[in-house]
Amino acid sequence: MGLYVEALVRAGVDTVWDRTQQPAQHRRWDLRFTDIAYLPCAPGEPQRFRYATRVLPFLTVAGVGVAAGERHRPDGTRTSALRFSSPHPLSLIEEGRGYWRYVPTGDGVRFLTGYDYRPRWGRFGRLADRLVLRPAMGWATAWSFDRLRLWCERGIPPERSLRHALGECAVRLGVLAAAVALALAPAPVPARAACLTAAVLALLLPPLPVTPAARRCLRRPPADAVSAPPALLAGLAAPEAS
């Protein structure tokens, strides 16, 4: 799988499962989706769903997917797998597949994902994906996983953690802008040094504990991780638009 993200969530596996498998809960913390809704399906069939992502205030890209899960496995872990596609001509992602694993440990739950997709638009799409979309998707996944962690561990609702992130970003940008303005103004050397120090701190200080941060998640599988796609994924057929 092309992208990998893992977070250690110090909460019960049932809590993590429910907040990731229920569409109403999932869309609250996952930055990659604006809406997720289940579609009708026959008993025993994989669950079909529709998703949407607001790319711009006036542009929403939608797609469909199919998912299946294993809640009770002999080793105590849980797994879900999905395939997805978007017929929207402005969606850079044409189709993809991925999985989630829930691995209980003595410290909580290792919640991890691996997924990949095929971009459209030919050579231009592949270049845009490599330079822009894929790094953004990796960051958004990791940031969202940490947002979920804060919700499960600390009880911070995703909506509040987003406000924390926006507020902290505004403060950092304000400090940086003020420091640059003061550094460019006529001032003694000590004052300029203080402005430079403030600017460096605004850029390098780690996020507050209540603010989601992609840096807290693993972006490469550890040596002991099972990173191969689960067998469950092989049994899923590509979704059809409805």
Q: Mean pLDDT, to the nearest integer, of 21-36?
A: 94
Q: Distance between CA 172 and CA 19 in Å, rounded? A: 31
Q: Mean pLDDT, to the nearest integer, of 71-92?
A: 90
Kindly report which listed range (134-143, 153-162, 191-200, 204-213) carries the lowest average pLDDT score: 191-200
Q: What is the pLDDT of residues 178-190, one digit of tens each?
A: 777 777 777 666 7
- Whether the pLDDT of residue 194 is over 90: the answer is no
Question: DSSP H helical segments within the chain, as ranges?
Answer: 13-21, 23-29, 122-128, 134-154, 158-184, 189-204, 231-234
- Whether the pLDDT of residue 97 is over 90: the answer is yes
CA-nearest of 4, 16, 7 to 216 is 7
**Averaging pLDDT over each range in 8-17, 45-54, 81-90, which range is the top one?**
8-17
Is 231 or 171 the better-scoring residue by pLDDT? 171
Percent of the chain with pLDDT over 90: 62
Backbone phi, then psi, for 204, in 5-degree steps?
Answer: -105, -20
Three-state DSSP string of 36-105: EEECCCCCCCCEEEEEEEEEECCEEEEEEEEEEEECCCCCCCEEEEEEEECCCCCCCEEEEEEEEEEEEE
Is 59 or 104 the better-scoring residue by pLDDT? 104
Instruction: Give the alpha-carbon dihedral of 191, 195, 200, 205, to 10 degrees.
Output: 100
- Whether the pLDDT of residue 1 is over 90: the answer is no
Q: What is the pLDDT of residue 191?
A: 67
Q: Mean pLDDT, to the nearest integer, of 77-85?
A: 93
Q: Distance between CA 151 and CA 145 in Å, rounded? A: 10
Report residue 87 as tokens: 């017929």
Is 158 or 236 the better-scoring residue by pLDDT? 158
Report residue 60 as tokens: 């929403």
Q: What is the pLDDT of residue 130?
A: 94
Amino acid making up residue 67: A
Percent of the chain with pLDDT over 70: 94
- Whether the pLDDT of residue 34 is over 60: the answer is yes
As beta bridge partners, residue 68 has 81
Confidence of residue 225 (pLDDT cuts 50, 70, 90): low
CA 46, distance to chain mean position in Å, is 23
Global pTM?
0.90
Q: What DSSP state is assigned to residue 206?
A: P
If you average pLDDT over every residue of the chain, what do you get?
A: 89
Q: What is the pLDDT of residue 189?
A: 65
Q: What is the pLDDT of residues 132-167, one digit of tens each?
A: 999 999 999 999 999 999 999 999 999 999 999 999
Q: Mean pLDDT, to the nearest integer, of 87-107?
A: 92
